[in-house]
Structure formats: structure tokens, C-alpha cells
């Protein structure tokens, strides 16, 4: 095993678009002149290593994206049987209500304290879920 493999965890990133969807700048002019581009086979996607320390950080729930990531986390936990379907459903319901509340806050900024309270409640629920998930034999 090489030294770089023993240093710590790494994460691989798979791009969601092919290179064909992102033409290279020096090829734009050549393709335009030749009229090419339509019949090119898609180029293979590639993996890129992202260096990381493997530390988990708890992201504060301050945006729609952070709230959606809670839903993804709950879905993964459900698939891995670390939480019960009932708990996953409860988290999904909370996330949907909070996302609706984000939209309502955009129209009525006075609802911001309500949104902040619901985000705090979701953070507490996820903290409890993570704690239960760490204990062996508890899928709730």
C-alpha cells in the first residue's frame, strides 16, 4: 500500500455532466469553423479525488439546501435501517413544512421567528436521531 493511501480517507467526486456538455474553450472555434460537434461521441466522465480529513461537521440549518440535506440523510438512514420508517416519515413531514415556510417567509418576512423556531426543532430532532442511530440495536 502506498503512503498516500494510508494517510486518511479520500472522497471521490463523479461529475453529473459529461465533458461533451462542457466544450473546451480552444475547441469552440475549431468546431464552429468545421461545423462539427453534433456527431461527436460523448466523452467518458472522470473521477476526481477530493482531499478531506474525514471529519463530520454539523451544518447549521440556515438555508433550504441544508434542510434538503437533512431529508437526504434521513433517506440514507432509512435505507440502511438505522431509523424506522415512522421516524423517516416524521422527518420528511417536518422538512416539507419547513420548505413551505421558507417560501412564506419570502413573501412575509414577519414569519422569520416562526421559521427559526421550526429550524431549531428540526435540528433537535436530527440530533436525537443521530444519537439513537449511534446506539446499537436502536432503529427508531
Task: Count the Cβ atoms, other than its own, within 10 Å of residue 37.
Answer: 13
pTM of the predicted model as reported, rounded to 2 decimal places: 0.56
Find cell 440549518 and name the residue.
61
pLDDT in tens, 11-70: 666 655 555 555 555 555 555 555 555 566 666 666 667 666 656 667 788 899 999 999
Report how far Cα 139 is from the mean position of its chain's Cα atoms. Answer: 23
pLDDT score for 4: 47
Residues whose CB is less than 8 angstroms from the CB of residue 105 and which lie 6 or more positions away in sequence, other chains included: 111, 112, 115
pLDDT in tens, 72-94: 999 999 999 989 999 999 999 99
pLDDT score for 140: 52
Cell numbers representing residue 122 in the block: 428540526
Amino acid at each position: 500500500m502506498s503512503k498516500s493511501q494510508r494517510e486518511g480517507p479520500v472522497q471521490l467526486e463523479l461529475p453529473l455532466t459529461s465533458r461533451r456538455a462542457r466544450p473546451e474553450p480552444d475547441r469552440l472555434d475549431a468546431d464552429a469553423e468545421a461545423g462539427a460537434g453534433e456527431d461527436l461521441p460523448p466523452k467518458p466522465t472522470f473521477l476526481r479525488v477530493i482531499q478531506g480529513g474525514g471529519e463530520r461537521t454539523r451544518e447549521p440549518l440556515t438555508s433550504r439546501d441544508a434542510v434538503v440535506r437533512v431529508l437526504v440523510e434521513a433517506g440514507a438512514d432509512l435505507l440502511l435501517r438505522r431509523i424506522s420508517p415512522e421516524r423517516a416519515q416524521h422527518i420528511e413531514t417536518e422538512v416539507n413544512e419547513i420548505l413551505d415556510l421558507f417560501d412564506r417567509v419570502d413573501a412575509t418576512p414577519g414569519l422569520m421567528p416562526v421559521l427559526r423556531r421550526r429550524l431549531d426543532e428540526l435540528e433537535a430532532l436530527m440530533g436525537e436521531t443521530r444519537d439513537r442511530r449511534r446506539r446499537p440495536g436502536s432503529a427508531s
